[in-house]
């Protein structure tokens, strides 16, 4: 498990080069997820672990967007990106832990989490907080890598697990473990991203 300090240290390190390393590589999945999540006018959307804000260009201009992250350095980049775009007046960013959010119950129509689930510290608290701040019948849209149980890539990612703290994410991250811990009731799963190796999960809050 990754500690909060490890996550902050890892993403402080990634921040200057994050867009170069993980920008184009994951952009297809980001675009698809935001298209699914922000499909109606005037939605209140929370993006957890918004990072440097690479998803921002894909939101509708009428969204009310709140982005949170535990890394000051990543968040500073998201704020800069928002300032230069159409969401300047329609977005707010907070340094906040997804596992203990300051929002009231049911504050958002949609909660989005892109490549965050495998970086958080406690999946049960992460899932409980997402369900709490999303309104009843609201939607939860999440993209992540999920490990397959067998084969070479599972062995490799298990092996790399010992470096999770420095990497800033859990390389071995099975879907059933994620679902058990978070208690999310997923309605649809689709492959996405380059070679369909990532998964886009949609859940209804209720």
Ligand X SMILES: C[S@@+](CC[C@H](N)C(=O)[O-])C[C@H]1O[C@@H](n2cnc3c(N)ncnc32)[C@H](O)[C@@H]1O
Residues that bind ligand X (CB under 6 A): 7, 11, 22, 30, 48-51, 54-55, 68-71, 74, 97-99, 114-116, 119-121, 169
H-type helices in the chain, by residue range? 4-14, 18-37, 72-83, 123-133, 151-160, 164-167, 175-182
Output the smallest distance, CB 9 to ligand X, in A: 10
Query: Is the distance from CB of 33 to CB of 190 less than 8 angstroms?
Result: no
User: Smaller CB distance to ligand X: residue 138 or 168?
Assistant: 168
Angle between helices 123-133 and 175-182 (to 10 degrees): 60
User: Smaller CB distance to ligand X: residue 99 or 109?
Assistant: 99
Output the smallest distance, CB 112 to ligand X, in A: 8
User: Smaller CB distance to ligand X: residue 114 or 203?
Assistant: 114
User: Smaller CB distance to ligand X: residue 74 or 87?
Assistant: 74
User: Smaller CB distance to ligand X: residue 100 or 150?
Assistant: 100
Query: Is the distance from CB of 108 to CB of 138 less than 8 angstroms?
Result: yes
Query: Is the distance from CB of 123 to CB of 184 less than 8 angstroms?
Result: no
Question: 3-state SS of 57-115?
Answer: HHCCCCCEEEEEECCHHHHHHHHHHHHCCCCCCCEEEEECCCCCCCCCCCCEEEEEEEC
Output the smallest distance, CB 167 to ligand X, in A: 10
Output the smallest distance, CB 206 to ligand X, in A: 24
Query: Is the distance from CB of 18 to CB of 52 less than 8 angstroms?
Result: yes
User: Smaller CB distance to ligand X: residue 66 or 120?
Assistant: 120
Output the smallest distance, CB 8 to ligand X, in A: 7
Output the smallest distance, CB 75 to ligand X, in A: 8
Q: Which residue is nearest to ligand X (CB)?
A: 51
């Amino acid at each position: 498990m990754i500690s909060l300090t490890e996550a902050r240290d890892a993403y402080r390190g990634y921040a200057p080069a994050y867009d170069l390393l993980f920008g184009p590589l994951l952009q297809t999945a980001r675009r698809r997820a935001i298209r699914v999540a922000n499909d109606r006018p005037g939605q209140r959307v929370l993006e957890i672990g918004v990072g440097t804000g690479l998803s921002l260009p894909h939101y509708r201009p009428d969204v009310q967007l709140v982005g949170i992250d535990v890394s000051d350095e990543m968040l500073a980049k998201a704020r800069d990106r928002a300032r230069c775009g159409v969401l300047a007046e329609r977005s707010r960013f907070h340094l906040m832990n997804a596992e203990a959010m300051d929002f009231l119950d049911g504050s958002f129509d949609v909660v989005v989490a892109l490549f965050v689930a495998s970086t958080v510290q406690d999946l049960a608290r992460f899932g409980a907080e997402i369900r709490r701040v999303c309104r009843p019948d609201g939607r939860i849209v999440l993209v992540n890598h999920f490990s397959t149980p067998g084969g070479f890539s599972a062995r490799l990612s298990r092996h790399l697990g010992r470096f999770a703290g420095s990497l800033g994410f859990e390389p071995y991250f099975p879907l059933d473990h994620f679902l058990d811990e978070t208690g999310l009731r997923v309605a649809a799963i689709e492959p996405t991203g380059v070679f369909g190796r990532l998964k886009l999960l949609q859940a209804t809050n209720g």
